[in-house]
Amino acid sequence: MRTGKRYLFDNVKKSLQEKMVFVGGPRQVGKTTLAFQLLGAEKGSEPPAYLNWDIAAHRQAIMREEYPAESALIAFDEIHKFARWREAMKGFYDRYYPKKHALVTGSARLDFYRKGGDSLVGRYHYFRLHPFSLCEMSAKPTREDLDQLLRFGGFPEPLFAGSERGWRLWQKQRVSRVLEEDLLSLERVREVSLLGLLLDALPAKVGSPLSLQSLREDLQVSHESIQKWVQIFENLYLCFRLPPFGTSAIRAVKKEQKLYFWDWSQVAEPGARFENCVASHLLKYCHWIEDTEGYDMTLAYIRDTDKREVDFVVLQDQKPLFAVECKVGEKSVSPALRYFRERLLIPKSYQVHLGEKDYGDEEKDVRVLPFVTFCRELSLP
């Protein structure tokens, strides 16, 4: 079975010996496949130690604590939809560890939906599972691999099926299930149809600072509603927002955020889709370092009041590591990239593109290079 998630498998397996492990990520990104692999399931079979809250018989087993005696690992899928799931997992940990271990997976931000009730702090390790990235496509990714990713997104089913028709059907089914099942099971929302309209409108906003005021006017709802709904989409791993970064050395904007999708194939405009794909790769890199090394990692963008902008800057403990500008074509170096590099003392600067040209020095000035080469040289997970 093709998963490409070996980098995460080994770390989860190791962490399970010490604490419960939570794995969050978008619906259909491969969490169940990961759980089955960790449980040692035979191909095509469902292991008894896999318990899905969405299945009635599994819910009863969880409530009665009827766990297979022969299995040292129990996988709980979507249990965050249970109102008292925090208490249930705390009880499991206190009663069964270290004889039995728990893997908790869910298509929502488990770190967000764990708040309130009994604290789980110190009892779990949290990992985030992302869609496929370029370096997971092959040991030596090619432009053809990138074209496949840009066309179908990084979710396993449409990516490896490689069918436009299958991709369209998968898109509709996935979004429908998120809005009609996941959303209603976790949030008290009445205006589901309006949330659907908002979700339809957001892909056109990718690549530009997000104006909640404009969205509020389009949907004729309050600012508070728009803010809440976008946050819900983030919690359900539909989209993510990036904050602006800047210091006193520049007149940086402070509040305008940029929005991107976990499934960049939802974005129609080619330039914005490529930028979203790059954003997703960099976010995955940040999450990987944060989840495995413990550093405070942030992906942000840079923009000042004179409208100079750089697409991305990766921060470690609030200090810039490198900046990245995206260009579809092989264009000259962005003046803004050089400007911010000097004033913010950014150690490395890259301009990535879909062409073949590769020149410059990232440490002395700006490196201009194909995105495929960028991913390979930085060993992005």
DSSP-assigned letter for residue 264 = G
The per-residue pLDDT for 110 is 80
The per-residue pLDDT for 182 is 84
Q: Give the C-alpha separation, 97 to 112, whole Å.
A: 24
The per-residue pLDDT for 115 is 53
How does pLDDT run across 308-367, given as a tens digit for each residue? 999 999 999 999 999 999 999 988 999 999 999 999 999 999 999 999 999 999 999 999
CA neighbor of 211 nearest in space, from 164, 259, 139: 259
Q: Give the whole-number percent of the chain exceeding pLDDT 90.
A: 81
Q: Give the C-alpha separation, 165 to 167, whole Å.
A: 5
Residue 32 scores a pLDDT above 70: yes
- Vertex 176, ends 173 and 181: CA angle to 5°? 115
Q: Give the C-alpha separation, 17 to 12, whole Å.
A: 9
Lookup result for tokens 């006017």: 217
Full set of structural domains in the chain with CATH: 6-128 (3.40.50.300), 134-378 (no CATH)
Q: Give the C-alpha separation, 102 to 110, whole Å.
A: 14
- What pTM did the predictor assign? 0.94
Average pLDDT over the chain reads: 92
The per-residue pLDDT for 4 is 44
How does pLDDT run across 80-124, given as a tens digit for each residue? 999 899 899 999 999 999 999 999 999 988 877 655 445 688 889
Mean pLDDT of 63-75: 95
